[in-house]
Amino acid sequence: MLVVNVVGARPNFMKISPLMRAMKRRESFESVLVHTGQHYDDNMSKNLFRDLELPEPDLHLGVGSGSHAWQTAEVMVRFEKVLADLTPDLVLVVGDANSTLACSITATKLGVSIAHVEAGLRSFDRNIPEELNRVVTDRLSDYLFTTCQEANDNLGREGIGKEKIFLVGNVMIDSLLAKLEQAKQSDILNRLGMESAKYIVMTLHRPSNVDNQKTLRNILHGLNVIQQKLPVIFPAHPRTLKQITEFGLSGQIAEMTHLHLVEPLGYLDFLSLMSQSKLVLTDSGGIQEETTVLGIPCLTLRENTERPVTVTEGTNTLVGSDPNRIIDEAMKVLNGYGKVGQVPKLWDGRASERIVTILEKEVLG
């Protein structure tokens, strides 16, 4: 079976990597890797490919940045030619990026079957573009691979037949567990002058947080108090830095003497940093999952999450952008009362193997 695997944005790489390794171990699969170029930082992409041991893309569409409409349309135009040339048996998409949606629409129009990995996740907030991408991709997909029972329930409520839905676990955790020992060899703590469990990690990139001046100010107000208690390592997204400058918040950042702004990190360095931290502050979906498996308390700087299992079972707490709530929850962790969770069912590093086994049976018969 010829499978076209699609990556576009940074989290896609962590999800596709174990899937392609699992396919490579089976004689029944021939896999092609298509990079849409939605994630357009060449250096960061190269680092991710190296850290995750991904093969170089067979095809790079080179789409780059733009509005949601432009980016989605451009991926569709370029991906249509890929499918016409390759005539694959299956298109495999992961997550909820614009590339995920665009390639799913294109495949549907050309009559190519679609497998969606990480299906059924819902925040129930249609103001988030990724939510629309998830809903439409799931509606178009022939095989829906889910990470948790809540995702199965969401799909069922939307009228998707049970025969299409497969609870398999979390492929992002496959990457984490496969690379954790290697990540422990990183010297990132030495480079940053930090000691294990004596620092906090923060990531911040979502438009709802960084494009709204009031919201960003509130988060930074909470951060200012927290960094006085324990150093904060902040691998800063270029978009976030741009907004900090445009909103005139650079002075506020400069006054935080225990806040350490660093360049975006590679997968292994960041995994090492996160796994040895005292606390993580984030608005990333994947990091909510990774901290749950690592047993690290996580405060999510959002009002909702499409990954509620990380809250109900894991180490995640939703705090939004209210500085008082951010500070209160952070102080609980720093005072030894952090949330203790458990690893969700099937988050065991073998989700990719389950997926390729199911595809062999369902597609090849």
Q: Looking at the annotation, which residues are catalytic?
A: 205
**What's the DSSP call for residue 163?**
G
> How far is residue 31's CA from residue 51's CA, in Å, rounded to a whole number?
20
> How far is residue 337's CA from residue 297's CA, in Å, rounded to a whole number?
10
Cα 167–345–4 angle (5° rounding)?
40
248 three-state secondary structure? coil
- Assess contact for 89 and 2: CB atoms under 8 A: yes
Alpha carbon of 63 to those of 1, 36, 79, 216: distances in Å? 27, 6, 10, 29
β-partners of residue 6 are 34
> How far is residue 82's CA from residue 78's CA, in Å, rounded to a whole number?
7
Alpha carbon of 355 to those of 21, 23, 138, 231: distances in Å? 12, 10, 16, 41
CB atoms within 10 A of CB 263: 10
Paired tokens of 157:
């409520």
